[in-house]
Structure 1
Amino acid sequence: MKRAYPWLMAACAMLAMLVSNGLTMTGLSVFDGSLLHEFGFSLGALKFRDLITLVLTGAVAPFIGILIDRVGVRALLIAGSILLGVAYFAYGHVTALWQIYAIHVAFAAVLVATGLNVAVILVSQWFVKHRGTAIGIALVGGSLSGVIFAKLNVTLLQHFGWRMSFEWLALAPVILLVAAIWLVRSPKDKGMLPLGMEAGADAQAASTRGDLSYADALRTRTFWALALTAGMTFYCTLATVAHLIGYLLDMRYDLAKASDGLGLFFGMVLVGNFLFGLIADHINQKAVFMANQAVMLAGAIMLASLNIHFAWYGIALFGVGWGGMYTLLQLQAVNSFGISSAGKILGTITVVDATGGGLGIWLTGVFHDRTGNYGLGFTVCSVLIALTFLASMQFRDERKARLAQLAQAA
């Protein structure tokens, strides 16, 4: 059981990503048409809710390391799952736009407590060896969320209407709540060592030797290159996730077929999450990362063409490219700077990527309101992905460089 426990924690991190991402982001767009029809909002006004969520998530994210140190991952997951259930039930009873915005403020707290950074840190606490594979497993949850909730939400909407659908979906966080209470623990809680760490104080000290402090990380080009890359790619990806159903509806597909597009996207992201996390444990991470960028760019260009013959190929390529990049962005940050200050480092990067993602969702909606189609929105995405190549050329293993300096000094 002890050998399996780290992998169980990777599965719990995957569940956290599945529930939190699925309910706050990936499956929510299924209900956009119903909300727009009932209340008469513009698309830009409705999508402003996601900008609120992501900007607030980014603002709080730098403090996630402090929160984890003080209350622990388990307590955050418990609190976040309860808040998510309450917020979803409230969504089924909204009568005005400001109420939707208020619920999305709560969603920001949910993402801080149960989202990406907590999942990555939970996994990183348990793994020294196979960390890339384990992070890939955790991030599969974000991909599965799109596959599962896109179809589930369409089914619920067709049978119960949008208000009752939100009430039923409010039960989903109970699964995460049970897992957090009964299963989630830190290595210290279990009296165990992370997988791949040898016993003994010297071995444990060696595992963090060369780790950069938060202040030192901020002074490196790698940190800012990672942050800019994350910001630009999250802009493009969250814009795609939030508007893909609308994009396909504009092409005269029905809602069920449009949700298949979201399912295809996240199915391919799922493949990229796990496959490239596994590959990165064995070959050069930077080369794999840049290959993912090229694939993602090809998909974005196809989507920007607004050609129905290219749309499904574009969705597949964009998805698998992003799946690899998503995993490797987290892995690059942990491996480049070490685990000691990972919470603060990942949290600060999240300020940039969350803001970028929120702007992508909102501005793509505004562009659609102004032009009547998604051509401009996806053209902007193509340009931004191309710019990430320049930023990623600045990546280097800062921890390895620090170890080399320490060896020379000795």
Structure 2
Amino acid sequence: MKLYYPWLMAILAALTLLVSNGMAITGLSVFDEALLGEFGWSRGELKFNGLITMVVTGLLAPFAGILLDRYGVRICMMVGWLFLAIAYWLYGNINGLTDMYLIHIMFSVVLVFCGLNPAVILVSTWFVARRGTAIGIALVGTSLGGAVFPQISTRLIESMGWRDAFQTEVIVPIVLLFIAFFIVRNKPADVAMSAYGGDNAVQADGSAAVLTGVAYKDAIKTSSFWSLALIAMFTFYSVLGVSAHLFLYMRDLAFTPAVAANAISTFFLCALVGKFIFGLSADYIDQRKVFYGNIFVMLVGAVMLAAMQTPLVWFSVVLFGLGWGASIP
């Protein structure tokens, strides 16, 4: 067991991203119709919650980084899962917009303590020689969260109503809290290991090849750096917008809630496939050409989605998901 502990950390990092992204961002949209029906809010009022989550997450990120360095990923993850459990319990008892907005501030705490940054830190601490592979395993969780939780939540809403659905899902972060306490360890030194697994792991020796690049101060002087930064910003903006509104969009086109949830899952599964297909292609074809190709595929999907034509929906979801997933590798 100890021999494979590093890979266990990579898998737990993937599970962490699956749950944090799925429950705090991508899985929430299936609740939208029920919330709008009960409270009579406008869509703008409802969707303001996503802006709150992202802005507060950005503001908290530097401070969370300090805490991650000081106390370690394990303790911070436990705090994040506790916040998520409380937030979902409270979500099932909201009575107005203010209640919902405050809960989305709590989701920001979840994302900075159980999101991408701590997951990558955890994996990077445990791996050197195969760090890229391990981080790739972890990042699978970001797509799977968007595929899994819309399905779970839709079925719970249909069987018990949206309030009980929120409170039933509390069990997920509680389980993750115990996993963090009993299994997650910040670094190899925290586990008594007679061997780190040879080539499989980790920081046993410093002989692993390390990719090199230009210094940060030199990178920010290049047009390529800022071009990639802008592309990342705009693609993530569009992806978050589409994933947040796709469920209601599908309902507007008279699809059933189950089918609308399937569209969200299809979107994120295609993103997962895109990561592998275009990532593999980049090893054999000029990377810039591959990059142009996946951005073009994403653009075609976006245009088709904007047409709001029922026959085009599934094509647009597939293409948009493939293109976005591909942009990451």
- The counterpart of 1:248, out of the listed 238, 247, 250, is 250
Map of 1:90 onto structure 2: 90
1:3-402 alignment, distance < 5 Å? 4-185=4-185, 186-190=187-191, 192=196, 203=207, 207=210, 212=215, 221-276=223-278, 286-326=288-328, 328=329
Within 1, Cα distance between the matches of 2:199 and 2:119?
15
Give, in angstroms, the shift of residue 17 of structure 1.
Answer: 0.7
Per the alignment, do residues 200 and 313 of structure 1 end up closer, same or farther by CA in structure 2, a change over 3 Å counting?
closer
Q: Which amino acid aligns with 1:230?
A: A
CA contact (8 A) 2:6 2:201 kept: no
Within 1, Cα distance between the matches of 2:7 and 2:290?
24
Alpha-carbon displacement from aligned partner over 1:92-115 (angstroms, at most 9, x marks no partner): 000010110000001011100001
Within 1, Cα distance between the matches of 2:203 and 2:18?
32
Per the alignment, do residues 217 and 180 of structure 1 end up closer, same or farther by CA in structure 2, a change over 3 Å counting?
farther
Give, in angstroms, the shift of residue 3 of structure 1.
Answer: 5.0
Within 2, Cα distance between the matches of 1:58 and 1:130?
30
CA contact (8 A) 2:31 2:162 kept: yes
CA contact (8 A) 1:83 1:106 kept: yes
Q: Which amino acid aligns with 1:250?
A: D
Moved more, 51-60 or 221-230: 221-230
CA contact (8 A) 2:126 2:202 kept: no
Give, in angstroms, the shift of residue 292 of structure 1.
Answer: 2.3
Give, in angstroms, the shift of residue 118 of structure 1.
Answer: 1.6
Per the alignment, do residues 87 and 124 of structure 1 end up closer, same or farther by CA in structure 2, a change over 3 Å counting?
same
Within 1, Cα distance between the matches of 2:6 and 2:65?
20
Per the alignment, do residues 209 and 187 of structure 1 end up closer, same or farther by CA in structure 2, a change over 3 Å counting?
farther
Q: Which amino acid aligns with 1:51?
A: L
Give, in angstroms, the shift of residue 74 of structure 1.
Answer: 1.1
Within 2, Cα distance between the matches of 1:198 and 1:9?
14
Within 1, Cα distance between the matches of 2:291 and 2:130?
18
Within 1, Cα distance between the matches of 2:212 and 2:256?
56
Within 2, Cα distance between the matches of 1:53 and 1:35?
18
Using CA pairs below 8 Å that are at least 6 residues apart, which structure has the higher relative contact order? 1
Residue 106 of structure 2: SS of its match in structure 1? helix
Residue 135 of structure 2: SS of its match in structure 1? helix
Map of 1:342 onto structure 2: none
Per the alignment, do residues 273 and 77 of structure 1 end up closer, same or farther by CA in structure 2, a change over 3 Å counting?
farther
Per the alignment, do residues 80 and 221 of structure 1 end up closer, same or farther by CA in structure 2, a change over 3 Å counting?
farther
Residue 94 of structure 2: SS of its match in structure 1? coil
Moved more, 105-114 or 64-73: 64-73
CA contact (8 A) 2:128 2:203 kept: no
CA contact (8 A) 2:77 2:113 kept: yes
Alpha-carbon displacement from aligned partner over 1:355-375 (angstroms, at most 9, x marks no partner): xxxxxxxxxxxxxxxxxxxxx
Give, in angstroms, the shift of residue 284 of structure 1.
Answer: 5.9
Within 1, Cα distance between the matches of 2:89 and 2:11?
26
Per the alignment, do residues 218 and 195 of structure 1 end up closer, same or farther by CA in structure 2, a change over 3 Å counting?
farther
Give, in angstroms, the shift of residue 188 of structure 1.
Answer: 3.8
Within 2, Cα distance between the matches of 1:59 and 1:52?
11
Per the alignment, do residues 253 and 199 of structure 1 end up closer, same or farther by CA in structure 2, a change over 3 Å counting?
closer
CA contact (8 A) 2:36 2:43 kept: yes
Within 2, Cα distance between the matches of 1:69 and 1:31?
36
CA contact (8 A) 1:187 1:194 kept: no
TM-score by length of 2: 0.88
Alpha-carbon displacement from aligned partner over 1:291-324 (angstroms, at most 9, x marks no partner): 3222212211211122222210110111122122
Give, in angstroms, the shift of residue 239 of structure 1.
Answer: 0.6
Give, in angstroms, the shift of residue 194 of structure 1.
Answer: 9.0
Q: Which amino acid aligns with 1:233?
A: T
Per the alignment, do residues 2 and 71 of structure 1 end up closer, same or farther by CA in structure 2, a change over 3 Å counting?
same
Unmatched segments (≥5 aa) in structure 1: 329-410
Within 2, Cα distance between the matches of 1:5 and 1:21?
24
Residue 4 of structure 1: SS of its match in structure 2? helix
